[in-house]
Structure formats: structure tokens, C-alpha cells
Amino acid sequence: MGSREKLVMVRYGELFLKSESVKHHFIGMLLRNIGKALSASALSYHFETPRGRILIYGDQLEKIADIVSRIFGLVDVSICTRTSSVLDDICTEAISLASANLHAGMSFAVRAKRQQKTGLNSQELGTLIGSAIYDHIPDLKVDLDHPDYELFVEVRNFGGLVYDSRIAAPGGLPWGTQGRVLALLSSGIDSPVASWLMMKRGCEITHLHLDAGRWAGKDVTLAAIENHRRLSRWCTGNPLSMVIANSELLYDRMDQLRIPPRYRCVICKRFMQRVAGKLMEKEGALAVVTGENLGQVASQTLANLSVISEAVTVPVLRPLITYDKEETITLARMIGTFDAHPGDLACRAVPSMPATAAVLKTVTECEQKMGIDEIVATALSGVRFVTALNCGIVKES
């Protein structure tokens, strides 16, 4: 019998669509990100990169599979056995794997793929391996549509790969291929998901949180930091930065000057955009990201969103704009940020009846009266930084 070796095989998705040179660059980034994530977890490994796949060898394959299943750009991950290209070897391994999991009375399917264009085609190969399993384990049924058990076989130039599970990875593009964005991160459910979606599309992130001091519930900033910490699990090996600016003065001024309470939410969101806009250059960011969502709350009507965007000239990206709350919650649970830090998360400035169609002219008049530029400068004058790495806070200043 030929040699066998266990390994982790990963598949990448959309990169297939890229030109050869871009693909080469993106695969390089993928390998770098995988390498950083595994090294950060003190795992030893080495790679092989046959066409369309990345093979990872190492001692702790379950751990490696778990970590790489959170790498953006990958579609799925399998722990496989590599065999020789000899059909008997592949069949022996297929029977051995199936025997551990497939029992009398169950249905099964073999999904086979073959790289070479000569010899048996993929379907014939699947039938052949399927028959070998069928003869070996009594009382099985073949069901190609809804089998109880699936076994996958790939025959490639270098040998066979046999496996029976595919762990879903997030897809998207490799982290770091699309530039940096500044993501407004709150204590809520939406903004961590918005930030994650931008990471998924290959962006590096700087988080910005506005700490409203006595105007916010006592747990708000802690909860935002917890969201930040949890998101760093999705770029393991790469530090994730967060800037925290104090925004107490904004609400004090609105209160002192008796700005109509119904305008508070729009003025607050425009202020956040202004602070973000000023920080962008320093952080090397190309756009601002928010968790805003059409019609979710009074400040997020189309009319208000356009008044909010008007405060800055930079692109404002809102990845959740069309999401239903349930869709966002499902994603937040998967990401691990849902309910990250419950507690007193209330906003004490929110009015009972916020304007749903704020008039830009009135808003800008209020802002001038408040001295908005000075308030922005004050917020930026004493920022704090929190760096998260591998799901831990590593630096605060």
C-alpha cells in the first residue's frame, strides 16, 4: 500500500475570476494571512500550493482547520488523507474512512473529481469507488441527492485526496487586499457586523468609537471594546486598532443651547462622520463604514442618511443598508459579537421623537451655533488607542 498522510486542504473562491497576476498576488496574501494566524497560535505547519488548492501539513490538524476556517478568501476547509494516485490505494482509503462513519441502513454518495483529462472520468471514478464501498459495508443505499453520508475524492497530479467533511469558511477576499477603512464601532449589534463584512471583502480596519461619557450608559464603551476584541479573532496574527474619542461636549452643547431634541440624532451622526473624516488621512483609510440600515430607526430614513453623508466629502459605506434585523443578528451570532457585553447600553441623549426628515439648512445652523468645528477638534485632541490581537487586548494608551 502507498504512503498516506493527513493534511488540511483549503479551497478559495472568487480568486478564480482574477487574472493570473492578481491571482498570484491574492494567493500570496492568503498564504501570508494563514501563516500569521497559525504562527500566532504557535502551530507548526508547511504549505503546498497545487493549482486551485492550498495544502497545509502540521501536527494539530483539527486546530489548524479551525483557525483557517476564519480566514477571508477561503470557501471551505477539509481534513483529508493524501494517498498515491493508484486507484487501489484511493479505494482502500475511501473504504477505511467510510467504514468509520457509514453504517448498515444508511445512504451515501461519492463525489469524485479528477484533474487529468485521460483515463476514467470523474463520474466513472465516483461509481467505481462507490461500488467498492457498497461491496464492503452491508445494506447501504446510494442517494446522490440527499445522502446521509458524503465522501469526497479528488485525484490530482500529485496523488489522491480523500475526505468526508467540509467546514465552511467565510469566503470574500483575502484580508489586506482592498485598503483600509475607518469603521464606526458602537456597543450595538449592527456595527460589528458592518465592520466584519468590510473585513470579509479584504479591507483592513481601524475602529472608531465615540465615548459620550455621562450621556451614555456606563457599559457602552466597554461593550464597544469587547466587540473590537472579538472582531480581532477574524484577522488573527494581525493587530486591530481602535481609536476612542470623547464626545461628551457635543451633547453638553446641544443641551445648553437648547438645540431642538428632535435634531439630536442627525447632528450626532454627522458629528461622528466629521471626526471619522478628520482621522481618515492619519489612519490611511479610504472610506468610512457604519452599521446604518435603511429605516431601522428614525435617524436612518433615506432623507436623514443623505443629510448625514453631507457632513463629509469622503465615501460613506453602509454594508447593512438593506439587511433585515434578523439577517444581521444571524451573522452577529456566527461572528461571535451578538450580545458581547450586555449591561447599561442606553443613550441618554436620544429624544422621544427624532426627526425623520431633518432639514439640512436647520441642521447646519444648529451646528454653527454650537461651534461644531471646535467640538470636533476637542474630541480629536485626547483620543485613546486600544489594540486587539488574537482576541486579546494587547495595548491601551
- Residues near ligand ATP (CB under 6 A): 184-186, 188-191, 208-210, 269, 272, 290-292, 297
The Cβ of residue 117 has, within 10 Å, a number of other Cβ atoms equal to 6
Q: Write down the least CB distance from residue 171 to ligand ATP, Å.
A: 23
Residue 180, strand partner residues: 204, 285
**H and E: helices and strands count for the chain:** 12, 16
Least Cβ distance, residue 384 to ligand ATP (angstroms) = 13
Question: By C-beta, is 54 or 223 nearer to ligand ATP?
Answer: 223
Which residue in 89, 154, 164, 190 binds Mg ion (CB under 5 A)? 190
Q: State in angstroms the smallest separation of the CB of 302 from ligand ATP.
A: 15
Judged by beta carbon, residue 140 or residue 250, the one nearer ligand ATP is 250
Give least dist CB 194 to ligand ATP, A.
Answer: 6
What single string gives the DSSP state of each residue in 36-104? HHHHHTT--EEEE--TTEEEEEES-HHHHHHHHTT-TTEEEEEEEEEE-S-HHHHHHHHHHHHHHH--T
* Cα–Cα distance for residue pair 63/350, rounded to 1 Å: 45
Is there a contact between 102 and 109 (Cβ–Cβ < 8 Å)? no
- Residue 237 is given by DSSP the state T
Looking at the Cβ atoms of 30 and 194, the one nearer to Mg ion is 194
Q: Which is nearer to ligand ATP, 30 or 181 (CB)?
A: 181
| Beta carbon of residue 43, minimum distance to Mg ion (angstroms, whole number) | 37
Give CA 32 to chain center in angstroms: 17
Whole-angstrom distance, CA of residue 184 vs CA of residue 143? 49
Q: Which is nearer to ligand ATP, 277 or 291 (CB)?
A: 291
301 makes contact with Mg ion (CB under 5 A): no
- Residue 74 phi/psi, 5° resolution? -95, 145
Q: Which of the listed partners (ligand ATP, Mg ion, none) does 189 bind, with a CB threshold of 5 to 8 Å by partner kind?
A: ligand ATP
- Between 152 and 215, name the residue whose CB sits nearer to Mg ion: 215
Instruction: Please state the closest distance from residue 186 (CB atom) to Mg ion, in A.
Output: 7
154 belongs to the binding site for Mg ion (CB under 5 A): no
Quote the cell numbers at residue 18: 482574477
Residues that bind Mg ion (CB under 5 A): 190
